[in-house]
Amino acid sequence: MTRFLQSAVAGFAQGSIYALLAVGFVIIYKSTRVVNFALPGLMILGAYMVVYFGSVLALNFWLALGLAILAAALCALGIERLAIRPMIGKPVFAIAIITIGIDIVLRVIVNDLLGSNVRNVRDPWGLKTLELGAVVIQQRRVAVVIAAAVVVSLLLVFFKYTRIGLAMRAAAFDQEAAMAQGISVGMVFALSWALAGGLAALAGMFVGTGSGIDQQTAFVAIKALPGVILGGIDSIQGAIVGALIVGLFEGFSNTYQTQYLGFLGENVSQVVPYVVLFVVLLVRPYGLFGTPEIERV
């Protein structure tokens, strides 16, 4: 039982990291209809910023984190201006590939800065653990769940109660009507990318807790994609739920798969999210919470 709970907590924590990334993805998709494959690059960029401010400049961790999130958000903004803005109106598929190109460029630059060693994000949780009865939970896992929950609630409040949030929701619903109402859609675009960049930086920092970051860490972000699709690409709640499901399944398969389903081979947890995705999409082709596309002929 304790193993199950520990596994569930680890999975939940991993899912929270994916949730941060997934929410960023969905925000961009909802407001700009752009599929953003640059998440791994943004995440590793953010993680590197934390390393830079925290290790190289040796600032206080929280200050470093805040600065890193800001810096990553600004970079994301810059990318949006330079590469995405000129592509408005062009085929969606081409824009998606452009984000892949951006991802490649980001990753190469950050890998160059990272060097070949593992870098430490200097988080305050390290490998310390917390004990709840018989269950031993690592503090960093608790931290990420709390952080994700707080951030997501803040975002939901932001969207619901502030003017800018309202503007973003309006632009997500219908760009032309929003423009007609005087909402600056360009500002909405920029803000959604900035938010995604900041979220990715936070996620990157958490990925770095426990084992540090190195040149391979960026690929962790790809696992957020099935979570997004699982929940439906235009639903923020769906993104969160989907990401958590993906994380949970990954945690369980890490712990139990070699025991019960050993014939499937090693490291099945990489593939499990996609299997889950297949199954869900068979039943609900637009994801759990996605809105079905209505096509007019």
Partner 1 sequence: MRGRPSLYTSYEQDSSLLNTPVKRFWVGALLATLVVAPFRLSPDLTLLLATAFIVSIGAIGLNIVTGYAGQVSLGHAFFIGIGAYTAAVLNGEPSTTSDVLGYGLDMWIWLPAAGLMAALAGLIVSPLAFRLRGLYLAIVTLGLVFIGEHIFREAEVVTGGVGVGRRAAEPELFGFSFADPGTVLGVPLARDQGLYFMALVVLVVMALLARNLARSSVGRAFAAVRDRDIAAEVMGVSLRKHKLMAFTISSFYAGIAGGLLYTITRFLEPSSFGLLLSVQFIAMVLIGGVATISGSILGAAFVTLLPRAIEEAPRFAPFISASASGGFLTTQQLEQILYGVLIVVFLIFEPRGLFGLWVRVRNYFKAWPFSY
Partner 2 sequence: MKVKLMTLRTGPLVLLVALMVLLSSCSGREDGGGGDDEGDGAIQTDVGVTEEPCPDAVNEDHGCIYLGTLSDLTIGPFAALAVPITDAQEAFWNKVNEEGGIGDAYDVNVTEFVEDNEYNPEIQVQKYQQIQGDILALAQTLGTPPTLATLEFYKEDDVVGTPASWWSGWEFEDNILESGTNYCFESMNAIDYAIDEFDVTSVLAVGYPGDYGGDAAAGAEIAATETGLDFLGAVETAPNAVAGSQEAAIQAVLEAQPDLVIITTGPAEMAEIIGGVAARDFEGRFIGTSPTWNKGVLESPAAPAIEALYLQSSPWEPFGAETEGHEAMREALGDIDPNDGYTSGWVWSYPLKAVLEAAYENGDLTRAGVVSAATELETVDYEGMLPEGAGSFSGDPNDTVFREIVITEPDESAPSGVTTIEEFFVGPTAEGFEFTEPCQSAE
Q: Which residues of this protein are in contact with partner 2, per CB under 8 A?
A: 10, 111, 115-120, 123, 126-127, 129, 136, 138, 209-212, 214-217, 219-220, 223, 254-255, 257-259, 266-267, 269-270
Rule CB under 8 A: choose which of 225, 241, 244, 248 binds partner 1.
225
Residue 117 Cβ vs partner 2, minimum distance, rounded to whole Å = 3
CA–CA gap between residue 14 and residue 18 (Å, rounded)? 6
Burial class (CB in 10 A: 0-12, 13-18, 19+), 261: exposed
- Which region, judged by CB under 8 A, interacts with partner 1, from 149-157, 189-197, 205-213, 281-289? 281-289
Residue 65 Cβ vs partner 1, minimum distance, rounded to whole Å = 28
Restricted to residues 173-202, the positions that interact with partner 1 (CB under 8 A) are none
C-beta atoms surrounding 160 within 10 Å? 10
160 part of the interface to partner 1, by CB under 8 A? no
Q: CB neighbours of 160 closer than 8 A, spacing ≥ 6?
A: none
279 part of the interface to partner 1, by CB under 8 A? no
Helix (H, G, I), strand (E, B) or coil at 22: helix
108-146: string of b/e by CB count within 10 Å (b at 16+)?
A: eebbeebeeeebbbbbebeeeeeeeeebebbbbbbbbbe
Query: Which partner from the list partner 1, partner 2, none does 28 bind, CB cut-off 5 to 8 Å by kind?
Result: none
Query: Which partner from the list partner 2, partner 1, none does 194 bind, CB cut-off 5 to 8 Å by kind?
Result: none
- Residue whose CB is less far from partner 1, 112 or 131: 112
CA–CA gap between residue 33 and residue 12 (Å, rounded)? 29
